[in-house]
């Protein structure tokens, strides 16, 4: 894997291992369906209750009638796949995840297209990333096609929950954790995998709204050799205190610097960042092992390159960025991730600085470009969309 920013004018980005994994074709949903057999929820919401639940959608507080589940044991491997009624878990108070945090997760959406079909975006990317996170957290890898089958079977069971309003989607949250009841510290011998689904509204119902960012110097999200490149709950746990500090500073989100030089931008607590230069080129922090490799980041790099823009994965120092904003060499900064898609960063604040950034043109363009592919309103030149139903 090459990490030096190539000087050669290569047409488009060099695919990372995750992007290469994501490019392997996925068998059609009909041939994966049924790997997670359905046990219907006897108290599923009726049409009226579901319509009520879908009326005023926010993020992550309403859940569908079912969930996917699979259990793994060291002796038996993955067994007991199923789609089961959504409900509380029964877990030993000694379950290892509650003590040592051995957990990983994913986030991916299902989109209702105008023809009524339900599609998802690059599911093999998330499947491969869950497997990569599993390796780092010493959890078992779920086979990629079982991961995708769990999405197919869950969304087919709960299809009526996929909303069709502007910017709405069904957010899917796959996760796996150590369920073994044992207080000794070891990689657990029993692991549960679940997928829950939550209909969610447009992140910005009234058009893109800029958010403000507190750049923390006191805390880091990740350290060299740590778990920053894995999607694991612990990274989020450690970001909550700095997030409170950001709120106390009047900011919406926190941005982290790298822990070695303490000078270079990494990412927000749950979104990658991109910097648009006045000359039209775009930069994003290089994947150093402490940054989570976002599916949205990857897609945006490709779409910008498609549009003829030079995209550089680079070291971006805070000091350099502040002086580029002051000089006008940087015109836009935005964050990206599955939940929010694209978010303009309108203000950067930290000890000794407080600057605003007004440009939105590239941010808006890339938001519209990506969402029109996801909602089936534009051609999908890279074959990213996958039909679930
Ligand atoms: C999930 C996540 C992202 C965004 O990844 P997407 O695949 O684009 O949703 C970025 N940073 C962190 C820390 C994350 O956990």
- Cβ-in-10-Å burial (0-12, 13-18, 19+) of 307 comes to middle
What pLDDT sits at residue 12?
61
Distance between Cα 172 and ligand 1 center (Å): 14
Question: Closest Cα to atom 13, ligand 1: which residue?
Answer: 270
Residue that finishes a domain, picked among 151, 183, 200: 200
Residue for token pair 């822990």: 259
Determine the structural domain holding residue 70 and report its residue range.
21-200
Count structural domains, the chain. Answer: 2
* Side-chain half-sphere exposure of 163, counting CA atoms within 13 A: 27
- 3-class DSSP state of 82: strand
- Cβ-in-10-Å burial (0-12, 13-18, 19+) of 259 comes to middle
Do 265 and 344 belong to one domain?
Answer: yes
Do 220 and 173 belong to one domain?
Answer: no
Does residue 271 line the site of ligand 1, with CB under 6 A?
yes
Do 218 and 316 belong to one domain?
Answer: yes
Could you report the per-residue pLDDT of 352-383, keeping only the tens digit for each? 999 999 999 999 999 999 999 999 999 999 99
Could you report the per-residue pLDDT of 160-188, keeping only the tens digit for each? 999 999 999 999 999 999 999 999 999 99
Which residues, 6 or more positions from 176, have their beta carbon under 8 angstroms from its beta carbon? 103, 104, 105, 130, 134, 139, 140, 142, 191, 192, 193, 194
Mean pLDDT of the chain: 95
What pLDDT sits at residue 206?
81
Do 49 and 35 belong to one domain?
Answer: yes
**Does 389 map to a domain?**
no
Do 160 and 264 belong to one domain?
Answer: no
Distance between Cα 261 and ligand 1 center (Å): 23
**Does 9 map to a domain?**
no
- The percent of residues above 90 in pLDDT, for the chain, comes to 94
Do 41 and 106 belong to one domain?
Answer: yes
Does residue 107 line the site of ligand 1, with CB under 6 A?
yes
Distance between Cα 181 and ligand 1 center (Å): 30
CB 130 within 8 A of CB 104: yes
Q: What is the mean pLDDT of residues 82-101?
A: 98
Distance between Cα 42 and ligand 1 center (Å): 35
Question: Closest Cα to atom 10, ligand 1: which residue?
Answer: 271
Distance between Cα 272 and ligand 1 center (Å): 7
Does residue 296 line the site of ligand 1, with CB under 6 A?
yes
- 3-class DSSP state of 74: coil
Distance between Cα 64 and ligand 1 center (Å): 23
Sign of CA dihedral 100, 17, 72, 386: positive
CATH number for position 148 = 3.30.470.10
Atom of ligand 1 nearest to the CA of 129: 7
What is the band of 11 on the pLDDT scale with cuts at 50, 70, 90? low
Distance between Cα 105 and ligand 1 center (Å): 10
The closest of 143, 172, 181 to 83, measured between CA atoms, is: 172
Residue that finishes a domain, picked among 200, 227, 252: 200
The closest of 163, 169, 191, 193 to 36, measured between CA atoms, is: 193
Could you report the per-residue pLDDT of 291-312, keeping only the tens digit for each? 999 999 999 999 999 999 999 9
Do 195 and 231 belong to one domain?
Answer: no
**Does 387 map to a domain?**
no
Do 157 and 72 belong to one domain?
Answer: yes
Residue that finishes a domain, picked among 200, 232, 252: 200
Atom of ligand 1 nearest to the CA of 267: 11
Do 319 and 215 belong to one domain?
Answer: yes
CATH number for position 220 = 3.20.10.10
> Rounded to two decimals, what is the model's pTM?
0.95
What is the DSSP pairing of strand 103-105 with strand 66-73?
Answer: unpaired
Q: Which of 128, 234, 235, 272 to mutate to test the pocket of ligand 1 (most atoms within 8 A of CB)?
A: 272
Do 244 and 372 belong to one domain?
Answer: yes
Do 352 and 217 belong to one domain?
Answer: yes
Question: Closest Cα to atom 5, ligand 1: which residue?
Answer: 294
Q: Which of 285, 292, 341 to mutate to test the pocket of ligand 1 (most atoms within 8 A of CB)?
A: 292
Distance between Cα 297 and ligand 1 center (Å): 8
**Does 134 map to a domain?**
yes
Query: Is it the case that residue 9 has pLDDT exceeding 50?
Result: no
- The percent of residues above 70 in pLDDT, for the chain, comes to 97
Could you report the per-residue pLDDT of 219-261, keeping only the tens digit for each? 999 999 999 999 999 999 999 999 999 999 999 999 999 999 9
What pLDDT sits at residue 7?
46
Q: Which two tokens stand for residue 326?
A: 């002051």
């Amino acid at each position: 894997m090459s990490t030096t920013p190539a000087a050669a004018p290569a047409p488009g980005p060099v695919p990372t291992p995750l992007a290469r994994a994501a490019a392997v074709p996925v068998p059609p949903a009909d041939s994966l369906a049924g790997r997670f057999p359905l046990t219907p929820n006897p108290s599923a919401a009726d049409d009226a209750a579901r319509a009520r639940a879908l009326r005023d959608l926010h993020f992550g507080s309403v859940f569908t009638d079912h969930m996917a589940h699979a259990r793994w044991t060291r002796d038996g491997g993955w067994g007991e796949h199923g789609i089961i009624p959504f409900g509380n878990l029964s877990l030993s108070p000694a379950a290892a995840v509650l003590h040592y945090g051995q957990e990983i997760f994913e986030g991916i959406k299902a989109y209702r297209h105008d023809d009524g079909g339900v599609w998802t975006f690059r599911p093999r990317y998330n499947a491969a990333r869950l497997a990569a996170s599993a390796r780092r957290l010493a959890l078992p890898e779920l086979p990629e096609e079982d991961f995708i089958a769990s999405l197919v079977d869950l969304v087919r069971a709960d299809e009526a929950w996929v909303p069709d309003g502007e910017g709405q989607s069904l957010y899917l949250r796959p996760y796996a954790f150590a369920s073994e009841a044992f207080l000794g510290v070891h990689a657990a011998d029993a692991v549960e995998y679940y997928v829950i689904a939550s209909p969610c509204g447009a992140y910005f119902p009234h058009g893109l709204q800029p958010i403000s960012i507190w750049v923390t110097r006191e805390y880091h999200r990740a350290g060299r050799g740590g778990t920053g490149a894995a999607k694991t709950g612990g990274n989020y746990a450690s970001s909550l205190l700095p997030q409170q500090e950001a709120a106390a500073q009047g900011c919406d989100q926190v941005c982290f610097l790298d822990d070695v030089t303490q000078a270079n931008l990494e990412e927000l607590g749950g979104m990658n960042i991109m910097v648009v230069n006045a000359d039209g080129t775009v930069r994003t922090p290089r994947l150093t092992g402490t940054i989570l490799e976002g599916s949205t980041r990857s897609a945006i790099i490709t779409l910008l390159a498609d549009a003829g823009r030079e995209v550089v994965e680079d070291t971006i120092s805070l000091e350099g960025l502040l002086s580029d904003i002051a000089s006008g060499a940087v015109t836009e900064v935005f964050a990206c991730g599955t939940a929010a898609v694209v978010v303009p960063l309108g203000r950067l604040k930290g000890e000794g600085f407080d600057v605003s950034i007004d440009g939105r043109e590239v941010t808006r363009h890339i938001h519209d470009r990506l969402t029109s592919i996801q909602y089936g309103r534009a051609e999908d030149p890279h074959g990213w969309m996958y039909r679930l139903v």
